[in-house]
Amino acid sequence: MIKVGILSCAHMHAGGYAHGLQLLPNVELVGIADENKERGEKFAQHFNIKYIPSYEELIQKVDAVVITSENSKHKALTLMAAEQKKHVLCEKPISVSVADAQAMIDACKQNGVKLQTAFPCRFSPSFKRVKQVVDEGQIGQIIAINGTNHGSMPGGWFTDKELAGGGAVMDHTVHVADLIRYLTGAEFIKVYAEIDKKFHPELNTDDCGTLSMTMTKGIFCTLDPSWSRNSAYPVWGDVTMRIIGTKGVINMDMFNQKLNLYNVDDRKAQWLYYGANTDAGLIKSFIDAIENDTPVFISGEDGLRAMELALGAYLSAEKCQPVELPLVK
């Protein structure tokens, strides 16, 4: 039986991961630790687990941790767990700087524990099919990719630069960046970005942007990671990709598995999602790697490279010119 603890439930994905852990027969979800007592106790009650105020105390009771804190706290919690020889699944973005992310990777390697980055989109059946088609060579060599990760403005600490490391571009670039790297086997080598605040003028951070990237293998990509969905939109957002190859084109709409509901009580249309539970797929992958002592499917390095693209985009927007990647050579 693998004992797992959740460190902070600040991130909305904590609930999905807790549910995924409780689905596995070989896992005991020991508890939740959170410095916010009210938040932690409410989460613990919902999932019928223990609330433990101290991160250190919970870490000592488990074999592995899931970190779903504010982004800027990922490093401290990862180092705390690694020093106690505990495996780590860390929410995206892996951190808020290249130096912090590298320190997390180094600490886990030095202590002989696994570090997996939480990119559940890799477990979408739609994306798995896209990967299969590309790997089989059905669309030839990839030339270009256009991606989107639109969403509603999440509010809370996500709009605090100190805690989140940025706004929409930090929040939503990393998912599609990881999918593109995994799909192509190529690396980002240059990014140009336009970043602004158009939908929520009250914010102190960005809520929209457009990224243009060049990659090794001669691939060109664009991405819109904006918080452009308003409160009337049926769901929080999307993840889409248009992949152009020398022999064909693939269009993927990852979450377009839904029923249309016209709700008289709420007086608006709703989309009822019936697709796969990607959070559960992510959790199972992490637990399988621990149980079988195999490499994690999504490494800390994968998390670093995706986050680095977002950081490069901010630098590009600040300089009004393209920025070469990696940022630290």
- Residue by residue, DSSP assigns 75-95 as HHHHHHHHHTT-EEEEESSS-
Asked whether residue 78 falls in the same domain as residue 129, the answer is no
Instruction: Copy the structure tokens of residue 327.
Output: 């940022």
Asked whether residue 78 falls in the same domain as residue 146, the answer is no
Asked whether residue 131 falls in the same domain as residue 115, the answer is no
Position 204 scores a pLDDT of 93
CATH code for the domain of 271: 3.30.360.10
Does residue 60 sit within a domain?
yes
Does residue 223 sit within a domain?
yes
Position 329 scores a pLDDT of 59
d(CA 110, CA 90): 17
Asked whether residue 65 falls in the same domain as residue 156, the answer is no
Percentages helix, strand, coil for the chain (3-state, rounded to 5) are 40, 25, 35
Contact between 27 and 55 under an 8 Å Cβ cutoff? The reply is no
Using left for φ > 0, alpha for ψ between -120 and 50, and beta otherwise, residue 63 falls in alpha
CATH code for the domain of 41: 3.40.50.720
Tens digit of each residue's pLDDT (9 = 90 or more) over 156-205:
999 999 999 999 999 999 999 999 999 999 999 999 999 999 999 999 99
Contact between 5 and 61 under an 8 Å Cβ cutoff? The reply is yes
Q: Check whether the bond before 326 is cis (ω within 30° of 0).
A: yes
Domain tally for the chain? 2
Position 271 scores a pLDDT of 83
Position 230 scores a pLDDT of 86
Strands (E), 200-299: 208-215, 220-224, 240-245, 249-253, 258-263, 268-273
Q: What is the extent of the structural domain holding 145?
A: 122-276+307-324
Contact between 81 and 107 under an 8 Å Cβ cutoff? The reply is no
Q: Is 318 exposed, middle or buried (0-12, 13-18, 19+ CB in 10 A)?
A: exposed
Asked whether residue 129 falls in the same domain as residue 259, the answer is yes
d(CA 322, CA 329): 17
Q: What is the DSSP string of 210-221?
A: EEEEEEGGG-EE
pTM across the whole model: 0.96
Asked whether residue 188 falls in the same domain as residue 41, the answer is no
Residue 176 half-sphere exposure, CB side, CA atoms within 13 Å? Answer: 32
Average pLDDT along the chain, 329 residues, taken 10 residues at a time:
98 97 98 97 98 97 98 98 98 98 98 98 97 98 98 96 98 98 98 97 96 98 96 84 98 91 80 90 98 98 98 98 91
